[in-house]
Amino acid sequence: MEVSAVPPKGVGADWTVPQHWESYTPAEHAVWDSLFARQARVLQDRVTPAFLQGLDILRLSRPGIPDFAELNERLAGATGWQVVAVPGLVPEPVFFEHLANRRFVAGRFIRAADQLDYLEEPDVFHDIFGHVPLLANPTFADYMQAYGEGGRRATRLGMIDALARLYWYTVEFGLVRDGDGLKLYGAGIVSSYGESVFALDDPSPHRLGFDLERVMRTRYRIDDYQQNYFVIDSFEDLLAQTRDVDFGPLYERIRVMKDIEVAELLASDRIIHRGTQAYAHAKQMSA
């Protein structure tokens, strides 16, 4: 997506803007409420318990689009994170700098009532409902900060694309093991009604054990449901495999390796569910 290199007029040097909570209309608050009700229902037995705890700690079940100032008081108390509003997508280095300082950037606009399932850019429902509950979890909160710090380094090394895949397959589309079963935690999944069902219940996508190098080599699609999901054991394990690992040698190794295609399987994969890929194939036929 196109991101301008300098902040637009009236936007701060750090790209933040006031949320202007008082200017949301009743119709906009009502869109939040209907999205919230639908997701609360579908996620009840599908999402990681840490997410539901986050909703509770942050009182996100109260009606209406959250006021960031109020949300930030609770978030600060839980993990020291803050939410800041931005006008849209921001350049990667700006994004990393905010994360490294425990600030999560969020869009302030909300989708239209007749577009509940279609989004060209992340809106306040995706950014707040999808991402912020887990920022109240101390382990996940530390992962997000470490990711921002890792982003500075990846920028210097020219490896942003590899690091972005890690974000995609964990923060946005991650699954986590839960006893013998799986649970959702990725924000791109939990803010989408269709994908909340698809990612966990549909036979189509591959579900593979998380492997850092594998993930950083794997392409992803931004136009439809994922064709593979990666499953972590726990947030503690994700943190141990990322914050406490030097990505330098890893970057040097994968720099010269081929990308892995979206639905490709490798002999070394830990296959939790081998997908039929029926959904993606049917889509392709009708295209």
Chain positions contacting ligand PHE, by CB under 6 A:
146-147, 150, 153, 166, 242-243, 245-247
Q: Report what 40 binds from Fe ion, ligand PHE, none; CB cut-off 5-8 Å by kind.
A: none
Q: Tell me how far apart the alpha carbons of residues 199 and 228 are, in angstroms, rounded to a whole number.
A: 9
State in angstroms the smallest separation of the CB of 243 from ligand PHE: 4
Number of residues that bind Fe ion (CB under 5 A): 1
- For strand 103-107 and strand 82-86, is the pairing parallel, antiparallel, or unpaired? parallel
Query: If you ran DSSP here, which 8-state letter would residue 78 be given?
Result: H
Q: Which stretch binds Fe ion (CB under 5 A): 45-53, 66-74, 97-105, 180-188?
A: 180-188
Q: Give strand ranges (E) for the chain.
A: 82-86, 103-107, 175-178, 181-184, 206-209, 228-232, 271-273
Minimum CB distance to ligand PHE smaller for 120 or for 246: 246
- Position closest to ligand PHE via CB: 150
State in angstroms the smallest separation of the CB of 197 from ligand PHE: 29
Q: Tell me how far apart the alpha carbons of residues 265 and 8 are, in angstroms, rounded to a whole number.
A: 43
CA–CA distances in Å: residue 261 to residues 79, 218, 219, 228, 258:
37, 6, 6, 10, 9
CA–CA distances in Å: residue 17 to residues 12, 67, 93, 148, 228:
7, 14, 18, 20, 36
Minimum CB distance to ligand PHE smaller for 164 or for 197: 164
CA–CA distances in Å: residue 28 to residues 24, 33, 109, 195, 235:
6, 9, 9, 23, 34
- For strand 103-107 and strand 181-184, is the pairing parallel, antiparallel, or unpaired? unpaired
Q: Report what 242 binds from Fe ion, ligand PHE, none; CB cut-off 5-8 Å by kind.
A: ligand PHE
Minimum CB distance to Fe ion smaller for 107 or for 275: 107
Minimum CB distance to ligand PHE smaller for 20 or for 156: 156
Q: Report what 187 binds from Fe ion, ligand PHE, none; CB cut-off 5-8 Å by kind.
A: Fe ion
Is 35 a residue that touches Fe ion (CB under 5 A)?
A: no
The total number of residues written for the chain in this structure: 287
Is 187 a residue that touches Fe ion (CB under 5 A)?
A: yes
State in angstroms the smallest separation of the CB of 151 from ligand PHE: 7
Q: Report what 38 binds from ligand PHE, Fe ion, none; CB cut-off 5-8 Å by kind.
A: none
State in angstroms the smallest separation of the CB of 193 from ligand PHE: 29
Q: Report what 153 binds from Fe ion, ligand PHE, none; CB cut-off 5-8 Å by kind.
A: ligand PHE
How far the first Cα of the chain sits from its last, in Å, is 23
Q: Which two tokens stand for residue 123?
A: 């809106």
Is 58 a residue that touches Fe ion (CB under 5 A)?
A: no
Contacts with Fe ion by CB under 5 A lie at 187
